[in-house]
Amino acid sequence: MKSINLGNSGLEASAVALGCMRIAELGTSELAQLIDACLEAGIDFFDHADIYGGGRCEERFGEYLHTHPGVRDRILIQSKCGIRPGFFDFSLPHILHSVDQSLTRLQTDHLDVLLLHRPDTLMEPEEVAEAFTHLHQSGKVRHFGVSNQNPSQMALLQKYVPFKLIADQLQFGPAHTPLVDSGLNVNIKSPLGTMYDGGVLEYCRLNEITIQTWSPFLFGFFEGVFLTSERYTELTRTLGRIGERYRLSPGAAAVAWVARHPAKIQTIIGSTKPQRVRENARGADVELTREEWYEIYRSAGNRLP
């Protein structure tokens, strides 16, 4: 498994990470098999959030760490905070409380990365800066980033936060491509030319912020998995055909598609099946040709100008 540098932090992480949103449903042995499969495949980065499973996902992961001494020193743990029932909260008390609760559930003394989850329009950046400073100085969080934020939101936060933001977690995959659509259709009166994110792809590349892609196998906003959808049969066939050239499954070919972008995007996969994790992880080490990348893009229904 190749590694990427998260932002310019010097923190080396696997190009594929495991998203832990659904691990609460696993039995103890099933969870152990899943994490062991990740480690065997070279995945050393695990993505959490305080709201996943109502905190139960972090708790289950912490139970694994407790019974497998030494694993914590081999992995990187990221968690997110800011989503509360019915509202978003980037206040200092909530950030500090959320991190303390996550550390307790995960049974660790620090997070390698903390992301602010969905944007809070009532955010006071000075307050966030105070929270981050406290967490860093106390050794509870090593690095910071955001999730689902546009360039202006990150620039506003960065003006006050004394630590370099190293990541922005965004939805991206072969069936969800707004991240690249507008850049391919500049100055063209077309739905694909509509910029929904303020040019976040280019902003992150210019400012050495790693994009982490969540739900790379979904289409729409949690509408479904494209690999099993009749709406994306051509895309699935194309991924299968191209994947065969490299002995990859269609899912692994989708990972290769994400990894091919020169932005060095980190792919977060959310599978709870060890074999699927092993299969998909292989995609990060295959470099598709330029022609193959665009063929997959077009097979999802995208037209080039």
Residues with catalytic annotation?
A: 52
| Tokens encoding 231 | 């709406």
Tell me the pairing of strands 111-116 and 76-81.
parallel
CA–CA gap between residue 116 and residue 82 (Å, rounded) = 6
Instruction: Please report, as a single letter, which amino acid is at residue 282.
Output: R
Match 């909260």 to its residue by tokens: 89
| CA nearest neighbour of 167 among 91, 215, 99, 112 | 112
Cβ-proximal residues to 29 (8 Å cutoff; 6+ apart), any chain: none
The position carrying tokens 């098999």 is 33
Q: For residue 84, what are its two tokens? A: 């509360």
Q: Which residue has the tokens 């550390």?
A: 103
d(CA 173, CA 102): 29
Q: Which amino acid would we find at residue 184?
A: L
Phi and psi angles of residue 198, each rounded to the nearest 5 degrees, phi first = 75, 20
d(CA 302, CA 234): 12
**What spatial distance separates the first Cα and last Cα of the chain, rounded to whole Å?**
35
Angle ∠(165,134,17) on CA atoms, nearest 5 = 40
Return d(Cα 280, Cα 227) in angstroms, integer: 13
